Each structure stands twice: as structure tokens, then as C-alpha cells.
Amino acid sequence: MQHRSKSRSLFLPLGAAAAVAAATGGALIWVWGVSGFGAAQDKPSVTPTLLRSGCTKKGQVPGSGSTAQQNVMKYWIKQYQQACSPVQIAYNPVGSGAGVAQFLRGDTSFGGSDSPVKPENAKGLGRVCSGGRAINLPMVGGSIAIGYNVPGVNDLVLDAQTLAKIFDARITTWDDPAIRKLNSDAELPSLPIRAVHRSDDSGTTQNFQAYLAGAAPKVWPYPAEKAWQGHTGDSAAGSDAVASTVNSTTGSIGYFELSFASRLSINTVRIDTGASAPVTATTKTASAGIAAAKLVGTGKDMTLKFDYRTSADGTYPIVLVTYEIVCDKGNLPDSLPALKSFLAYTASEQGQEALSEIHYAPLPESIAAEVRKVVSTLS
């Protein structure tokens, strides 16, 4: 028996595309409109007829979570709605932590998170996944770019150890000897470093801290949690706000997805991994990092594990995959067909092929094909 109730949410069908959600008296109010979040992606549209065969006739699918995927989710929803109206998809970029919490409360049909739900939290969800469990489906990849704002420095190389010390307030000026050693040709100013981290629980933070802990374990002693663990510095809620802070603050450095750096034309750090040349954050180098990941999930769960200490040429080490978290069994019957239809599109060749144009990394086809197979079995 399906116990998940829709009484916690009020659906307002005012259009089609992204969602804006607000907490009011304990209920989530979803506004189905086109201007809820992010910047529109003016990229080539898919041919609606190619999608139509996978469309359902009706359904409302609310999701929330990762800000890392907000730009691609905006794109996906726009394309899907053009082909599959009147199905309505909504996404609220509240951050991975909040998105997972809303899904586990039964407020949404899927949660977006840059880190997987752990096995111990995936079972026993009662009314949320009646008779089943929460599973992690990788859907979009990308690099966590390290953006910086240092006057006169347009090319900056850092390694894991130096990054760890910067974000732990143990390197505090831009002309520190450790930075000069990696950038012998740069004119580094004697300027205080202002390291910016996320203030909200974030999968981006968790992945960045996993990289620091994995690549520089003797320097970064903190666990890879969604909450920031290093010494305090400047902070902002959401990747968009961190990128905006770096863009407007001289001497700053922060971490966020490549799409935000590209949109604001922020310089990004090249990472010295021990490869023949420092590696730049691009969709191609991020895809190489994702392709080297190992599948460690069991059953229908598709959790991936990255190699943060890679020194392979052209492989960017600070990567993430945003997962869509769904129930393998026990999804709401009213939204299930539309949920499966939308996720099948996002994992399809059509859904993945445009990602590099908006600064995301497509999934390797071997992974995407397995995701599509799992989506077809959701019940």
C-alpha cells in the first residue's frame, strides 16, 4: 500500500518548466513557471517529434536539490516541455542537502544531489518508497572549477596540497612561496586570499572536500561532508552565489561548477596532478575523470567512486556527478509515468548530447545506457 501523501504540497499549474518553491506553514508551494531559477540556456532545441514517442499524456513531477545541475535542469525541462506538453516538470535548486531532505520527506518525486544517498539512509523510508528503497542514478557530470579573482594573473596553477592549505587558512597571501613555486612566471601580488566556500549543505562541497581528502590526505584532515569542514572564510549559499562573490571580490578564490565560471567569465585554476601538464577544467577533461570512475552501488543503485589521485594526462581530478534520487519501488502512481518519461529523456543520447555546449560533461554511454535500463524498471 502506498502511504506517501500529496497533502504536504500544493501544486499550482501556472505554466510549464522550472519551479519556485517556498515554505509556507509547513507546505511546499510549487509554481510551475518558466522563470523560477537560473539563466535560460539559448541552445539548439531538440526536435519535438524525436521525443514524442516517449511522452506521457499527463503528470506533474516536482524535484529539488543540487544547484550544480540547475542550469542543465533548466535546459532539460524546456526541451521536454516543448515536446511533451501538458506534462509538467518542476525543479527547485535549493541545494543537495535540502533536496535530499525534501525527497526523503515525500515532498518531491525526485531529489537532485551531487553526492549519493548512503545505503544506510536508503532503506526503511516507509511512506516514501513503500516496498522499496531510494536509489542513486547518475545523470549529469561536470568539473568543480576553482575560480579566482587576482588582478594581473590570468593563468594560475595549483596542486591539491596548496589548495588544501589555502582553503584551510594556512596559506593566506597570493605571493606565498608555495604558490610562487607553481607559478614561476606569474607576477603574484602581495594580496590577502579570501577563500569562499558554501554556507549551505552541498554535494559540491562534499565532492570538493573528497578531492582534498583523497589527493592531499596529510594536509586535509577533515571528512568529506556536505557541510564545510575547513577553517572559516567567506561563505555564500549556492554555487551561483559563490561564483558571484568570487567575481566581485578582489583576492578571492572559490569552488563551483564550470557552467557558473563560464557564464561569469571567471578565470579558473589549472590543476597540477603530476601529469605531463597541468589540467584545465573542461567538459572533455571532466568526462575523462568520470569515465575512470568505478560503479560501487548494488542492485539498481548506481553510485560511482572517483579516483582523485589520478595523474593521467588530460584527466581533471575534481569532478562530480549529480544523481537523481528516486524510489526503485513505491513511486507515486500519478506521477510515475511522467517521472520515467522525463528521466529516460535526460539519460538519452538527445538529453546528453547538448551538455558540453552548456559546460557540463555528458555521461559515458556505458553508464547512460545502464541508467536508462534502470529507469525503465521503476515502479
Q: 132 and 150, same structural domain? A: no
Read off φ and ψ for residue 32, nearest 5 degrees.
-90, 90
Taking the model in full, what pTM does it have? 0.79
Rounded CA-CA distance 356/353 in Å is 7
Please determine, for residue 362, whether its predicted confidence score (pLDDT) is greater than 80. yes
**pLDDT (mean) for 89-97:** 92
Confirm whether 340 is domain-assigned.
yes
Rounded CA-CA distance 298/301 in Å is 5
Q: 244 and 232, same structural domain? A: yes
Domain membership of residue 248 as a residue range:
143-291
Confirm whether 353 is domain-assigned.
yes
Structure-block grid coordinates of residue 242: 559563490
Q: 117 and 45, same structural domain? A: yes
Q: 369: Cβ–Cβ under 8 A, 6 or more apart, which residues? A: none
Residue ranges of the annotated binding site are: 66-68, 96, 114, 202-204
pLDDT of the residue at 128? 85
Residue for grid cell 568539473: 143
Using the 3D structure, point to which of 276, 291, 306 is the last residue of a domain. Answer: 291
**pLDDT (mean) for 59-81:** 93
Of the CA atoms within 13 Å of residue 349, those in its CB half-sphere come to 3
Rounded CA-CA distance 256/268 in Å is 10
Please determine, for residue 249, whether its predicted confidence score (pLDDT) is greater than 80. yes
Q: To 10 degrees, what angle do helices 365-376 and 336-346 make?
A: 170
pLDDT of the residue at 2? 41
Q: 132 and 185, same structural domain? A: no
pLDDT of the residue at 1? 39
Please determine, for residue 346, whether its predicted confidence score (pLDDT) is greater than 70. yes
**pLDDT (mean) for 246-257:** 97
Total of domains in the chain: 2
Residue type present at position 174 = W
Q: 167 and 90, same structural domain? A: no
pLDDT of the residue at 51? 65
Q: 106 and 30, same structural domain? A: yes
Confirm whether 306 is domain-assigned.
no
- Residues 67 and 112: beta-carbon distance below 8 Å: no
pLDDT of the residue at 125? 58
Q: 37 and 103, same structural domain? A: yes
Using the 3D structure, point to which of 291, 315, 339 is the last residue of a domain. Answer: 291
> What are all long-range contacts of 242-247, with beta carbons under 8 Å and residues at least 24 apart?
242/196, 242/197, 242/198, 243/147, 245/196, 246/147, 246/148, 246/149, 246/196, 247/147, 247/149
Using the 3D structure, point to which of 291, 309, 339 is the last residue of a domain. Answer: 291
Q: 71 and 180, same structural domain? A: no
Q: 158 and 97, same structural domain? A: no
pLDDT of the residue at 126? 56
Q: 152 and 119, same structural domain? A: no
pLDDT of the residue at 266? 98
In this prediction, residue 6 has a pLDDT band, given cuts at 50, 70 and 90, of very low
Confirm whether 4 is domain-assigned.
no
Please determine, for residue 221, whether its predicted confidence score (pLDDT) is greater than 60. yes
pLDDT of the residue at 20? 40
Residue with the larger pLDDT of the pair 130 and 164: 164
Confirm whether 120 is domain-assigned.
yes
Rounded CA-CA distance 46/363 in Å is 18
Rounded CA-CA distance 284/370 in Å is 21
In this prediction, residue 45 has a pLDDT band, given cuts at 50, 70 and 90, of low
Of the CA atoms within 13 Å of residue 28, those in its CB half-sphere come to 26
CATH number at residue 36: 3.40.190.10
Q: 336 and 284, same structural domain? A: no
Confirm whether 307 is domain-assigned.
no
* Mean pLDDT taken over the chain: 86
pLDDT of the residue at 18? 35
CA torsion sign, 119 to 120 to 121 to 126? Answer: positive
Q: 262: Cβ–Cβ under 8 A, 6 or more apart, which residues? A: 359
Q: 147 and 87, same structural domain? A: no
Confirm whether 316 is domain-assigned.
no
pLDDT tens digits, residue range 150-190? 999 999 999 999 999 999 999 999 999 999 999 999 999 99
Confirm whether 132 is domain-assigned.
yes
In this prediction, residue 347 has a pLDDT band, given cuts at 50, 70 and 90, of very high
Residue ranges of the annotated binding site for phosphate are: 66-68, 96, 114, 202-204
